[in-house]
Amino acid sequence: MFIAGLSEFLLIASLVFAAIKYPCVSPGIRAVYHLTLATTLSAALMGSLRYLEVADTIFWHQTFSFASKHIGMAGFIGISLLSICRTTLEKQIILCLMAIAICSFMVNIFTSFPILSDAVIILLLGFGVHLYRSNTKAATLVVVATVILLSTLVWGAIIPDENFRLGVFHVCLSLFIVLFSQGVQHERTASVSTSAQAI
């Protein structure tokens, strides 16, 4: 599983990038943001050790992957979007979706219902495109990131080799994280520029 293990390092690099490009939020929320990234980073680290056969980390890899899928990614996307909300209603919608993600996490501890977590992520991304509608470049980055993320469903169905399939998944997820983070950064910069011009 050399390709799967090696591609985990690309995912780790993208998560470090996202951590450096953190959204403009309060210190407390920023800590939660970094915690959500840490779940995916831990999964990637355990996965690299597992697939490269350096250590037997299957339990920890599965545990952190579960946390990343059901709450980590939704937290990363949701908190990023909170930083560019302009109205209370927009914030309430995102917080509501994040609350559903937490419920999904709890539900999936006891039974397998992954479609709920997937639906939350898709809804957050769709709402993100709506928030970026006035910024063409940021919206384009988010749309491309979303398409790349959703493309993993296609690759998962057509690539028979597990090693290569996981490698492609890690590359797609890495690209999603980088492009989405860039979209948030671009929107924030544009908002600051607009505010400065208004003054």
Range of the domain at 193: 2-198
Note the pLDDT tens digit of each residue in 6-38: 899 999 999 999 988 776 777 888 899 999 999
For the entire predicted model, the pTM comes to 0.87
**What's the number of domains the chain is made of?**
1
Find the CATH number of the domain harbouring 143: 1.20.1070
Note the pLDDT tens digit of each residue in 34-91: 999 999 999 999 999 999 999 899 999 999 999 999 999 999 999 988 888 888 998 9
Note the pLDDT tens digit of each residue in 118-161: 999 999 998 888 887 777 888 888 899 989 988 888 887 888 88
Tokens of 172: 């797609």
Q: How far apart are the first and last CA of the chain?
A: 56
pLDDT(194) > 50: no
